[in-house]
């Protein structure tokens, strides 16, 4: 965003300088070049930002794929944790039940022990009386034997019950210890599963943070692209405005020059000035006339649209009549060329010059030097190619120069 603002400020400064430096709000070619350079820089920055944007989006896709894969792994790890927790809960439940069974067995054993102890105490304290009662109260000897056996059976039962309860208590104690060991193993497995899940969650969080950073990069580059494109559009609008102002200024200048020329001079007839003063104004000075001829370069024939007047390199080329320079520069085929409008639809052309001494828009007088003899463009030697054009169409120079045409 800051770079875009710098470019906009630079563009505005260039506009201000270009407008203040020129009359009629025209702009120099250098100013336009600077503006176009700024626009091109913005375009390159936009291209770079779009490349980085695409890279960030690609990274997003890759990381999201990794996150989705990690999600599946984390979910599997969580299931392992849930299963380990369920196993531990089951072990704890069984341990709790075993503890309760142990307590109940202990309580029953104590009760049985108390019952046995009571009986043993009673028999100890009343053993003589008890056996005497059995003898005295028995109906016969067999009844006595049965009663004694009955008492022995009661004592034996109590002892057996006590032994069984003790054994049961020991078995429950052993099973409880085994369950405790199983719980330790389950707690260890649960801890391992939780550590694995936590580690995977940490990796997943890192991936998510990386993804979020790429999302931020995407937003940043989108903003840069949007900002640069807006700045580029604004720069292009300014360039278009300046080009329009320049075109309007040039059109106005042409109109002013045309009006000035027409008001000061309009060709109304008469012989034009000979354009190469170093050569005599004679047909003998021509190397080629206004005729159909063989091409001097290449093959075939062509119609030669003017007079060729050879002369030494660098010799002066002068205006055939007063007027306004409407073209001064390189022209395909003609090389360095000058075209002068003399008003009334008459234009003269001077081609193949080595250099030019006038510029477009200049007002020249009859006989004023406008160029130097050369051999630029499609030429085989130093000469001036001179044409006369009326209302845009070339015509024979003979009646305008007063020099007869030649047949070659």
What CATH number does the domain containing 163 carry?
1.10.287
Q: Is residue 270 part of a domain?
A: no
Q: Is residue 384 part of a domain?
A: yes
Q: Is residue 317 part of a domain?
A: yes
From 230, 264, 298, the end of a domain falls on 264
Q: How high is the pLDDT of residue 154?
A: 64
| Domain identity same for 233 and 318 | no
| Domain identity same for 253 and 334 | no
> What's the domain range around 296?
283-401
pLDDT tens sequence for the chain (408 residues): 444 444 333 433 433 333 333 333 333 344 666 777 777 887 888 888 788 888 878 887 887 888 787 777 778 878 877 887 887 688 678 767 766 766 776 776 566 566 656 655 555 555 444 555 655 665 665 665 665 565 666 666 666 766 776 777 677 677 777 777 777 787 777 788 788 778 877 887 887 887 788 788 888 878 888 887 887 777 777 777 776 776 676 566 555 555 444 435 678 778 999 999 999 999 999 999 999 998 887 788 889 999 999 999 999 999 999 999 999 999 888 999 999 999 988 999 999 999 999 999 999 999 999 999 999 988 999 999 999 999 989 999 999 999 999 987
Give the chain's domain count.
Answer: 2
**From the CB of residue 362, how many other CB atoms can be counted at a distance below 10 Å?**
17
| Domain identity same for 41 and 122 | yes
| Domain identity same for 249 and 299 | no
Q: How high is the pLDDT of residue 366?
A: 95
Determine which helix (DSSP H) or strand (DSSP E) holds 394, and give its type and residue range.
Answer: strand 393-395
Phi then psi for residue 341, to 5 deg, are -95, 130
| Domain identity same for 45 and 179 | yes
Q: How high is the pLDDT of residue 1?
A: 41
Q: How high is the pLDDT of residue 180?
A: 78
Q: Is residue 406 part of a domain?
A: no
| Domain identity same for 295 and 250 | no
C-alpha angle 117/119/122, rounded to 5°? Answer: 110
| Domain identity same for 174 and 146 | yes
Q: Is residue 278 part of a domain?
A: no
Q: Is residue 112 part of a domain?
A: yes
| Domain identity same for 236 and 329 | no
The residue whose two tokens read 């409008």 is 341
Half-sphere exposure at residue 211, Cβ-oriented, CA atoms within 13 angstroms = 15
Burial, 182: exposed, middle or buried (Cβ in 10 Å; 0-12, 13-18, 19+)? middle
């Amino acid at each position: 965003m800051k770079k875009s603002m710098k470019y906009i400020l630079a563009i505005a400064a260039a506009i201000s300088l270009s407008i203040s430096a020129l009359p009629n709000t025209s702009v120099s070619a250098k100013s336009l070049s600077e503006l176009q350079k700024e626009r091109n820089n913005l375009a390159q920055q936009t291209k770079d930002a779009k490349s980085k944007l695409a890279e960030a989006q690609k990274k997003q896709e890759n990381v999201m794929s990794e996150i989705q894969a990690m999600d599946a792994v984390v979910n599997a790890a969580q299931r392992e944790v849930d299963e380990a927790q369920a196993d531990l809960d089951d072990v704890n439940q069984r341990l709790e039940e075993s503890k309760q069974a142990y307590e109940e067995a202990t309580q029953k054993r104590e009760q049985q022990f108390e019952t046995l102890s009571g009986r043993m105490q009673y028999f100890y304290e009343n053993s003589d009386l008890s056996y005497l009662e059995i003898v005295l109260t028995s109906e016969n000897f067999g009844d006595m034997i049965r009663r004694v056996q009955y008492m022995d059976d009661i004592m034996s039962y109590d002892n057996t019950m006590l032994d069984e309860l003790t054994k049961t208590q020991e078995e429950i104690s052993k099973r409880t210890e085994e369950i405790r060991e199983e719980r330790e193993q389950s707690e260890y497995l649960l801890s391992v599963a939780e550590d694995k899940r936590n580690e995977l969650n940490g990796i997943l969080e890192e991936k998510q943070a990386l993804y979020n950073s790429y999302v931020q990069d995407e937003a940043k580059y989108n903003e840069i692209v949007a900002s640069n494109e807006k700045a580029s559009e604004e720069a292009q609008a300014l360039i278009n405005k300046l080009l329009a102002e320049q075109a309007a200024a040039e059109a106005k200048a042409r109109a002013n020059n045309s009006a000035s020329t027409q008001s000061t001079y309009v060709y109304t007839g008469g012989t034009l000035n000979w354009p190469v003063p170093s050569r005599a104004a004679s047909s003998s000075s021509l190397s080629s006339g206004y005729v159909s001829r063989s091409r001097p370069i290449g093959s075939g024939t062509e119609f030669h649209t003017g007079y060729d007047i050879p002369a030494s390199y660098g010799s002066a080329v002068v205006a055939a009549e007063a007027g306004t320079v409407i073209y001064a520069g390189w022209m395909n085929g003609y090389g360095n060329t000058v075209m002068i409008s003399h008003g009334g639809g008459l234009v003269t052309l001077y081609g193949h010059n080595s250099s030019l001494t006038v510029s477009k828009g200049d007002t020249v007088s009859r006989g004023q030097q406008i160029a130097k003899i050369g051999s630029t463009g499609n030429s085989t030697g130093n000469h001036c190619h001179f044409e006369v054009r009326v209302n845009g169409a070339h015509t024979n120079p003979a009646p305008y120069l007063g020099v007869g045409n030649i047949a070659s």
